[in-house]
Amino acid sequence: MTKIEMGRFLLVAGLGAGMGCGMALGQSAGQDMKNAGQDTKAAAVDTGHATTKTTKKVAHKTSQVTKTAAHKTANGTKTAARKTANGTKTAAKDTAQGTEKVGDKIAGKPSPQ
């Protein structure tokens, strides 16, 4: 082979290899686009599942806290009612005793010691 033939051969071989690589890259670029679309879809689905899971957790916790608050409020109300009743009984007794003492003073009876 002469130099010119060798040059032509290398030129044709190089162009053939370049065209083959270009076609291979063109096909893989399309596949890359499909893969990117599928990955985006999968990420959106995962995000949706995470949002659903978090919403359920928050709703459950809110429900628990609300029930706890209701129970504590009920217990506080019962305690306040008991203390109010006891205070009212004590005040009634004190008022009765005070009224009796005033009545005794008006009647002129000596006060017991």
Question: Is residue 93 assigned to a domain?
Answer: yes
Question: Is residue 10 assigned to a domain?
Answer: no
The range of the structural domain enclosing residue 96 comes to 75-100
**Three-state SS for 21?**
helix
38-41-42 Cα angle (round to 5):
85
pLDDT digit string, tens, across residues 86-107 = 999 898 888 888 887 777 777 7
Question: Is residue 91 assigned to a domain?
Answer: yes
Backbone phi, then psi, for 37, in 5-degree steps?
-65, -45
pLDDT digit string, tens, across residues 50-95 = 999 999 999 999 999 999 999 999 999 999 999 999 999 898 888 8
Backbone phi, then psi, for 50, in 5-degree steps?
-65, -40
The number of distinct structural domains making up the chain is 1
